[in-house]
Amino acid sequence: MILSLLVFLPLLGALAIALLPVRDDRAIKITAALFTAASLVISGWVFVQAYFFMWLNPGDFQPLFVERVSWIPQLNSYYYLGVDGLSLPMVILTTVIGFLSVLVSWNITLRVREYFAWLLVLETGVLGVFTSLDLLLFFLFWEVELVPMYLLISIWGSAPPLGRREYSAMKFLIYTIFGSAFMLVGVLAVLFSAGTLDMRELATVPLREAILPVSVLFWLFFIAFAIKLPMFPFHTWLPDAHTDAPTAVSVMLAGVLLKMGGYGMLRICVSMFPEAAQTYAPLLAALAAIGIVYGALVALRQTDLKRMIAYSSVSHMGYVLLGIAALGEVGLTGAVLGMFTHGTITGLLFALVGLIYDRAHTREIPRLRGLAHQMPFIATVFVVAGLASLGLPSMSGFVAELLVFLGAFPRHAVWTVIGVTGVVLAAGYILWTVERILFRQPDPHFDELRDASVLEAVPLSVLVALIMVIGVRPTLLTNVIQHGIAPIILRLG
């Protein structure tokens, strides 16, 4: 039951926080940190065990740590959990980001009990998505994250006149529910067509078109995942949600929630409907290239630091979609690695923006200048995160983008070339932003700003270490990822 413990431990932590007899904010924060740290330790143990199993059994593509119990016999649905090379990187990413988000939230003072309880419920929902191997269970975990995200943004987000937290929270909810409606229809249609909700079984046998054409089923699922990714033109909820969300929620949103979209595309759209994926791959590559360039150009125009990073996420997640559209081993490996690296890099950038805003009380890029003089550690980490975001060699972002381009070019040469221009644009908006906020003449109003505390430096240092380690030794993840996508490659023929 190790996976059940991993998935539901944050939920148990939320219950413990809710029932904590004392009204001590510090005790609440420590409880949240302990439960998320325990999930991180368990996920690390699972990762190590699975890594060595895959290394010793390269031809065995069965999921590991499987838990399968009959759940709803009338629907032939199971409580079915398991991990493989596709889900393992996402699980470890979620537990790392979940623990660091608690540390990032250490200065929260408003309704502390409710805040940390909902943050831990959110982590359980995401972990459930990445470990579910039953379509109905997958859908239910997909929906679990809606309520905590809505409440975290609408209550603890940016209030007027600085932000529109209620508007942004509702926009996120409407977009996500819209996509979920399509997914629910797809789940029911698959059940009626195949008589099973077992995602592993569905990925090995062709679906008969008993209810809806396979191409329609592909799009029912794809729309839900495209909204979450977010893919152009379904991206407009993301900048608002990021801008008005509290710092830790932005870290969770960029770090793991967006990855649910890319993961769903690989686990369901490509694995279960390979013929439809091959048919529509050129369209997906075109949308990816448009998203890459569009997100980068709009990021160049932003004056709000958080909004600039939000649009950079639209651009960078376009690389993930381009890798998926390649439908080959190299491209798919780059897409999964890109999801992991984007989570660490962009999560780090949003954590830095939160620290800067807490001190300067503004996110306006024209007003922020010369901060390197007052905050040398934060400035150094910001430069590292920026260079990783633009794809500097020896950092994790470079490896992922290189694999995507190498995998996509033989199949979608024109769209890959257009996508490569996003790297140039990323260098433009990242370096221009770094120059403006860190290295211009210092503003006298910011002379008293303090640098990061020891507690604040911990999540920053952990994410920097992950970026550098994966950049120098990407095989730590690519070996696992290739084991996970091998069955997809076989399915694609």
pLDDT at position 448 is: 83
Cis before residue 487, ω within 30 degrees of 0? Answer: no
pLDDT at position 96 is: 96
pLDDT in tens, 235-245: 999 999 999 99
Q: Which residues contact 188 (CB under 8 A, 6 or more apart)?
A: none
pLDDT at position 369 is: 86
Asked if pLDDT for residue 5 goes beyond 90, the answer is yes
Angle of helix 274-300 relative to helix 305-326, nearest 10 degrees, comes to 150
Asked if pLDDT for residue 252 goes beyond 90, the answer is yes
CB crowding 158-171: b at 16 or more within 10 Å, else e: beeeebbbbebbbb
Residue with tokens 């890594």: 51
Extract the runs of DSSP E, i.e. beta strands, from 58-199: 64-72, 77-83
d(CA 274, CA 208): 13
Asked if pLDDT for residue 194 goes beyond 90, the answer is no
**Amino acid, res. 387:** L
- What number of CA atoms fall less than 13 Å from residue 94's CA on the CB side? 31
Q: Which of 469, 296, 305 is nearest to 378 (CA)?
A: 305
d(CA 343, CA 264): 16
Q: Do residues 120 and 482 lie in contact, with contact meaning Cβ atoms separated by under 8 Å?
A: no
Residue 412 has φ and ψ, to the nearest 5°, of -135, 70
In the chain, % of residues over pLDDT 90: 80
Q: Give the predicted TM-score (pTM) of the model.
A: 0.95
Asked if pLDDT for residue 119 goes beyond 70, the answer is yes
Q: Say whether 132 sits in a helix, a strand or coil.
A: strand
d(CA 21, CA 188): 44
For the record, the structure tokens of 90 come out as 């996402």
Confidence of residue 224 (pLDDT cuts 50, 70, 90): very high
Mean pLDDT, the chain, whole residue set: 93
d(CA 127, CA 81): 10
Q: Which of 400, 384, 298, 358 is nearest to 89 (CA)?
A: 400
pLDDT at position 57 is: 84
CB atoms within 10 A of CB 114: 17
CA angle centred on 90, ends 334 and 331, rounded to 5°? 15
Residue with tokens 């893919």: 231
pLDDT at position 205 is: 80
- What number of CA atoms fall less than 13 Å from residue 192's CA on the CB side? 13
pLDDT at position 389 is: 93
Residue with tokens 């507690």: 455
Q: Which residues contact 490 (CB under 8 A, 6 or more apart)?
A: none
CB atoms within 10 A of CB 437: 23
d(CA 205, CA 452): 54
Confidence of residue 210 (pLDDT cuts 50, 70, 90): low
In the chain, % of residues over pLDDT 70: 100
Q: Do residues 262 and 324 lie in contact, with contact meaning Cβ atoms separated by under 8 Å?
A: yes
d(CA 160, CA 168): 12
d(CA 71, CA 132): 13
pLDDT in tens, 415-462: 999 999 999 999 999 999 999 999 888 888 888 888 989 999 999 999
pLDDT in tens, 283-304: 999 999 999 999 999 999 999 9
Among 121-130, 262-271, 318-327, 369-378, which is the least confidently predicted range? 369-378
pLDDT at position 207 is: 77
Residue with tokens 């396979």: 214
Q: Do residues 310 and 429 lie in contact, with contact meaning Cβ atoms separated by under 8 Å?
A: no
